[in-house]
Homo-oligomer: A and B are copies of this chain.
């Protein structure tokens, strides 16, 4: 990005999609990010901001003053505006609000009136509505006068005089029916709606099950408030998936790939602290058997194998159960079947690997007693690991803890403690 290239970069940026520029910004270290932002088309700024992930968004917003932000906000959809403004610190937010015209200020207040994570916070208010007593012919003429429909419109909503939703007419119907029929004759009157305070997680499932492209959002009294479109739902699905994956490693799914070192270090500290506690618990178990370890050093060499295999067996079950919980496979009736199944797999795999390991260790160390103790400890630990892999997420779910976040650490602590305790405990009883 030497000086002579600025003009060229600007030209390339102006031809790119907002989503691609957002990706480019997320892929750039902070200094490059600032230059790219300055060179990009100000008309695209609103769209780009909406496509950025939360942390990259915060870093870009820092480069903008209140005035610029206010003018960018003018061209944005209500749902996108809400996303961007939620990322602002309170003081800046007040500044931005003062720079806006009163009409825009109303839109902002509307956008922020629904709690984050509710249907209202991701809905668009640009619905196209019609009345049921008019003819399709009239609707067609009305649309031609309007000359433009909002993006991703696939359905017109039929409302009564009180904005109550009474039905909908897909564009495909509008195009294929006899224009002399009335709207009430062609509309679908049983419309599935989303109530405005429904959590976004449930909305993603609804779209997936019904193959919707858009769905109307209504108040508790059935008043049409807006619509949710599939592009926002795809974003939610991707965020949820990232959250599960990153959460399993103790990471925040909003973490910016190129966040400053100090910020990232601070964020990861909590998880490392929790792990240190878990590791110290495991160490205190071996500490109970320090005398035995002093007597037979071979035990120290072999003792890490038992928790390791139990942890892997348990983690396999855990991943299966977390997935099953996420897609809704598990209910009160079948959880017992699942526990029995996973315990069975744990027992089988435990037997198999206990035999293999005892063979390997006998071959390596030439000591049958230690080999058998190791095999028994591994068998117990793998069976318990499988069982814990089902029970821990089910229990966490009951207490409203996210198993994708805390499940792995809890499981590893269980298999570490059980593995070390059974192996060293039996060795102490038999050998010491």
The residue on B at minimum CB distance from A346 is B265
User: Which residues of chain B are within 8 angstroms of A20 by Cβ–Cβ distance?
Assistant: 209
**Which residues of A249-291 have CB atoms within 8 Å of chain B's CB atoms?**
249-251, 253, 255, 257-258, 261-262, 264-265, 268-269, 271-272, 275-276, 278-280, 282-283, 286-287, 290-291
Q: Kindly identify which residue among B268, B271, B323 contacts A246, using a CB–CB cutoff of 8 Å.
A: B323
The residue on B at minimum CB distance from A296 is B294
Are the C-beta atoms of A246 and B304 separated by less than 8 Å? no
Interface range for A? 35 or more
| Known contacts A279-B304, A323-B245: A265-B348 contact under CB 8 Å | yes
Residue A138 is within 8 A (CB to CB) of chain B in the complex: no
**Which residues of A294-346 have CB atoms within 8 Å of chain B's CB atoms?**
294, 297-305, 308-309, 312-313, 315-316, 318-320, 322-324, 327-331, 334, 337-338, 341, 344-345
Residue A171 is within 8 A (CB to CB) of chain B in the complex: yes
1/0 per residue, CB under 8 A from B, across A212-251: the answer is: 0100000000000000001101110110111011101111
Are the C-beta atoms of B208 and A234 separated by less than 8 Å? yes
| Known contacts A213-B230, A268-B313, A300-B286: A330-B27 contact under CB 8 Å | yes
Are the C-beta atoms of B238 and A329 separated by less than 8 Å? no
Interface hit among A3-11, A113-121, A149-157, A193-201: A149-157
Residue A398 is within 8 A (CB to CB) of chain B in the complex: no
- Can you offer 14 A-B residue contacts whose CB atoms are under 8 A? A144-B176, A144-B178, A149-B172, A152-B211, A208-B235, A211-B231, A244-B245, A249-B316, A249-B318, A262-B348, A265-B345, A275-B309, A286-B304, A290-B297
Residue A177 is within 8 A (CB to CB) of chain B in the complex: yes
Are the C-beta atoms of B312 and A143 separated by less than 8 Å? no
Interface residues of A (CB under 8 A from B): 17, 19-20, 23, 26-29, 140, 143-144, 146-149, 151-154, 171-172, 174-179, 207-211, 213, 230-231, 233-235, 237-238, 240-242, 244-246, 248-251, 253, 255, 257-258, 261-262, 264-265, 268-269, 271-272, 275-276, 278-280, 282-283, 286-287, 290-291, 293-294, 297-305, 308-309, 312-313, 315-316, 318-320, 322-324, 327-331, 334, 337-338, 341, 344-345, 348-349, 352-353, 356-357, 360, 416
